[in-house]
Structure 1
C-alpha cells in the first residue's frame, strides 16, 4: 500500500516565524506591535490545546467551534489583574491599529477556511488585544503609553500596589468604552498553598431557590434583587426606539449602543451583587 504523504501542520512556533512573511505581504501589519501579533497566535494555540489535552481532573474540553469570523475575547492571567477605563481612545493612530487587527493572524489558513471561533460580538472586530510585555513606567499620572499607539488618557480608579510590577496589558472593548487590564506580579508575595479541612465550624450549607436567591443553614436568606425585571421598562423604551431607526444609520447605531449600555449596567449590578453576597457568606464562617 502506498504510504500517504505526511502533512506539515503549522504549530505555534512556525506561525510566529511566519509573521515576517505576513508583514511583507500585508504592510499594514507593521503598524501593529509584534508581541500583539504573537499573542493572537498564542490564543489559537490555547484553543486547540484545551481541546486535545486533558485538564487536571482528566476531562477534555469541547472542540473549538469554527466560524467565518475574526473574533477574540479577553484571555485570563495567572497574576493579579487591575482594570482601568480608558477615557480617550479615539485617536487616529489608535483606531487604525484596531482596524488592522481584523486580518487573520493564523496565516496558513486562508480567508474563507474554517478556524476556531473565539467568542466575541461584532463581526470583523476584535474585542481585545494584549501586550505580553510593556515598560514598567508605562503609566504616568492619568496616561498610559502603549507601543505603536502612544499616550492614551485613562480613568485610574485606584493606584497600583507598592512592589508590584506590570507584566502584561490588555485593551478590551465594552459597550461603554475601552478598558485596560494590567496583570501584576510581586515575587515577594508567597503562593497560596493553604489547605482548609472542612469542619462543623467552617462549613455553611446553601440552598439556591426561586423565591429567595439563597437560604443558609443558619436560617438567613438573601432576596433576589431582580435587576433585569426592574430595568425591563427602560429596556423596552430603548428597544422600541431602536426598532424605529433605519438599520445601519447613525441614529440606529446610537440607539443600539444605548441598549448595549443598559444591558451592561444590569450585568454590572448582578456581578456586584454576587461578589458582595459571596463576601458576606465568607464572613459568616
Structure 2
C-alpha cells in the first residue's frame, strides 16, 4: 500500500474563508476542553491518600474513569444538545480533533514526547473520509462546505484514490493536503550501485565521500535583521489594532518564506545526491541534543532533521538505498587505516600517520561510507562492486535476488523492465 500526500493551494470565496475560520475556532475550543478534562482527571490522582495540597486539590470521584477517545466522543454527541454551535462543524472533523489529542497522549506515554498543550490557534482540520468522486478537475467538494476551487499545480497520479483531506491555514492563505493511496505492494530498495557517504555539519552543510563540499545557506540568519526590524515595530503598535494585524501578517509571511526556502533547497540537494549514487549512507545523529547546544540557532536554521527525512523520501522515490550508521568517532578515525586520530574542531585537515591527508569533513564522510558497507556485509549482503554484473554497474547479488528484482513491481504499479 502506497500513501502519498499532495499539497495544493485553495482559492476559497470570502464566505468560505469565514466558514474555515469559524470551524478552526470551534475545533480549538473542543481540543482545549478535552485536554482540560484529561488534565483535571490526572491532577485528581496525583496526591497521596493521606496528604493533600495546602493550596487546592482536584476532587473527582473514583467512579469517574480516565477520559479516553471513545468516552469523549460519546460526551461530544451529548454536548451538541447543550451547545448548538458544535453542530456547525462536521461530526467527523470534531472526532478527528479528539483522535489527534489521543495520539498526542499515546506519543507522550510511549515515545517520550512532552505533555500536550492548550492551543491558542488551531491551524488545520481533517476530513477523514473522502473519495475520488469529491475531486472534479480543479474543484473539490468538502462535506458541509461545498465546492472549493484549488490551484491544481500538478495532476493527481493515475491509479491513486483520494482517502482524506486536511485543510491548513497559513500566512499566505489556505492549503489542502490530499492523502492518496494506491493498492500496490512496493518492496524495499535493495543495496545496489555506487555507494556514497555524507557528513553534515555547520561549517559545510554536506561533505561527500567523493570530495564534494556544499556550503550551508543561512536562511534565518540572513533575514534576521529584517525580522528584527519588523518585530521592533510591532512592539510599539497597539495590540489588536489594524496596523498591528498588518505587521503581524508581514512577520508571518517572512517566517513562511524562510521555511519554504529551506525545504526547497533540501529537496534540490537530495536530488543532486541521488544523481551520484545508488546507495547513500548518513550519520544517525542525536538532533535533539544538537539543537540545545551553544550553536542551537544555527543548527535549527540548517534543519538537519528535515534534510535527512527528505533525503530518505527522495531515495525511496528514486530507487536509491538509504541507511544510517553510527555517528560516534567518524571525524576521529582515519578512513584508510582505521587509526584513531584525535583532533579538536579548530583542526580542519585530516592528517594521519599513514600518510593520508584530506579535508576533515571529507574524511568523516568516507568513514560513514565504510561503516555503511560494513553494515551491509554484517547483514549477510554482498557489497562487492562489479563492472558488468547481473544488471548494470552495482553490487554482486545472488541468482535468487536477481530473480526477485526481475519480478518486483516498480513505483506506482508500473512493471519494471530488467534485462
Query: Which residue of 55, 78, 83 corresponds with 1:26?
Result: 83
- 1:70-127 CA-to-partner distances (Å, cap 9, x unmatched) read x3xxxxxxxxxxxxxxxxxxxxxxxxxxxxxxxxxxxxxxxxxxxxxxxxxxx1x311
Q: Which has the larger displacement, 10-19 or 260-269?
A: 10-19
For the 8 Å contact 2:104–2:116, the answer to whether it is kept is no
Distance 1:66 1:160, change over 3 A: closer
Match of 1:194 in 2: 188
- 1:233-275 CA-to-partner distances (Å, cap 9, x unmatched) read 4334433443342221111111111011011111111111111
Matched residues in 1 for 2:234 and 2:249: separation?
Answer: 10
SS at match of 1:168: strand
TM-score normalised to structure 1 length: 0.69
Matched residues in 2 for 1:219 and 1:144: separation?
Answer: 49
Structure number with larger C-alpha Rg: 2
- 1:159-215 CA-to-partner distances (Å, cap 9, x unmatched) read 21122111001001112111100001121x22x332534x8x543222223332111
Q: When the two structures are aligned, how many residues end up with a matched partner? A: 218
SS at match of 2:164: strand
Q: Which has the larger displacement, 263-272 or 136-145?
A: 136-145
Query: Which residue of 115, 121, 126 corresponds with 1:65?
Result: 115
Query: Which residue of 140, 143, 157 corresponds with 2:139?
Result: 143
Give the C-alpha shift of residue 6 in structure 1. 5.4
Match of 1:180 in 2: 176
Distance 1:246 1:34, change over 3 A: same
Query: Following superposition of structure 1 onto structure 2, how do residues 1-285 of structure 1 map, counting pairs within 5 Å?
Result: 5=62, 7-52=64-109, 60-67=110-117, 69=118, 71=119, 123=120, 125-187=121-183, 189-190=184-185, 192-197=186-191, 202-285=194-277
Matched residues in 1 for 2:131 and 2:201: separation?
Answer: 49
Gaps of 5+ in 2: 1-60, 278-419
TM-score normalised to structure 2 length: 0.48
Distance 1:48 1:236, change over 3 A: closer
- 1:20-76 CA-to-partner distances (Å, cap 9, x unmatched) read 202112111111111111111111221122233xxxxxxx32254244x2x3xxxxx
Distance 1:162 1:196, change over 3 A: closer
Gaps of 5+ in 1: 53-59, 72-122
SS at match of 2:190: coil
C-alpha RMSD over aligned residues: 2.4
Distance 1:194 1:184, change over 3 A: same
Matched residues in 2 for 1:157 and 1:220: separation?
Answer: 34
Matched residues in 1 for 2:143 and 2:76: separation?
Answer: 18
In the TM superposition, structure 1's runs of 4+ consecutive aligned residues that sit over 6 Å from their partners are: none
Question: Which one has a larger percent helix, Structure 1 or Structure 2?
Answer: 2
